[in-house]
Structure 1
């Protein structure tokens, strides 16, 4: 009889504790997501401010942009290339943020690794909405990056988009055809 009572008591404790465990797990996950959003936003703000401080052209495009996105990325290449990162798209007028992911892959001649930030400025609401909701870009690319820092930049908007790539760290030499996909971060929005 005692063993049945002990078993039922243990079962009751587990049944009562399970919802609390789930609640605290959700709170912990929510806290981590808040930390991730804060980190992404900080990196984006620092990259954007650095770019605007260093480039009058970027300043001019930023003033005329409806919105922008900043991604913190990495890329590796050894014949084939791949990489990815996270970022945030910001509607300047509303101040709203959409957290996003980026993935890239390609084939061609390439060797090395690179960490960089990508700043994307959207000229119009339509370009911004298209980027946030569809976010697809495919391009041919040739780069050579070495050492600590470098910037490659757009001089104007093309199809409503201007791109700035800020090389942070790494050594990379490549000439490849790269496909890049941007999409909303399901867990952070």
Structure 2
């Protein structure tokens, strides 16, 4: 129930067109922030098969963690946006709320297609983040999450202390994609 609430409230706009505009705005703002922090990533993304940007809000409450959000994958060869959602849940010690942006960079067509079509990932996570607006900070940089896939995370706001094993599902947003 908590997870479904995150996924449905990640983009609060009303019509599908408004939701698409919000997701694209989030992508533009997230990429601008990423390029400011890691200028070399812009070239990496241009050379990549594709990339995806997600806005995520997560909560950790003692032994349960949950997160949800929305985003868009971009196929550099086809010049096509694929609107997506994400939902995750996990177990482990945690306390707090974290609002962050995730940018996946895909260097192989297989990795990009797998992400868009099935999008499962599972990870063990140890994280300490403390940030409110421009105050505080979090360790942010690329990690390799699978062969051909790098992930950059940018913390927006929040305070979280967590050590969790979490499964995340990324999937196409049927409402926002052309059928």
1:170 corresponds to 2:170 = no
**Per-residue deviation at 1:151?**
4.9
Radius of gyration: which is bigger? 1
| Contact 1:104–1:180 (Cα < 8 Å) also in 2 | yes
**Aligned equivalents of 1:45, 1:93: Cα separation in 2:** 19
Question: How far apart are 1:65 and its partner, in Å?
Answer: 1.2
Contact 1:61–1:156 (CA<8 Å) still a contact in 2?
no
Q: Pick from 135, 138, 150: which aligns with 2:122?
A: 138
- Structure 1 runs of 4+ aligned residues shifted over 6 Å read none
1:134, 1:187 → 2: CA distance? Answer: 17
User: Corresponding residue for 1:94?
Assistant: 78
- Extract unaligned runs of 5+ from structure 1: 1-30
1:186 maps to what in 2? 174
**Greater share of strand residues, 1 or 2?**
2
Structure 1 vs Structure 2 CA RMSD:
1.7
Cα distance, 1:56 vs. partner?
Answer: 3.5
Q: Does 1:35 align with 2:18?
A: yes
For residues 101-153 of structure 1, give each alpha carbon's deviation from its aligned partner in whole angstroms, at most 9, with x where no partner exists: 00111100100001011101111222111110010100000000002353522
Matched residue count? 159
Q: Which is helix-richer, 1 or 2?
A: 1
Give structure 2 stretches of 5+ with no counterpart. Answer: 1-13
Shift of 1:157: 7.8
Question: How far apart are residue 53 of structure 1 and its match?
Answer: 2.2
Answer whether contact 1:74 1:116 (CA < 8 A) is retained: yes
Question: Is the contact made by 1:152 and 1:166 (CA closer than 8 Å) also made in structure 2?
Answer: yes
Change (3 A) 1:113 1:156: closer
CA displacement, residues 17-41 of structure 1 (integer Å, 9 cap, x when unaligned): xxxxxxxxxxxxxx81001001101
Distance 1:52 1:65 in 2: 15
Would you say the 8 A contact 1:140–1:176 is kept in 2? Answer: yes
TM superposition score normalised by structure 2? 0.83
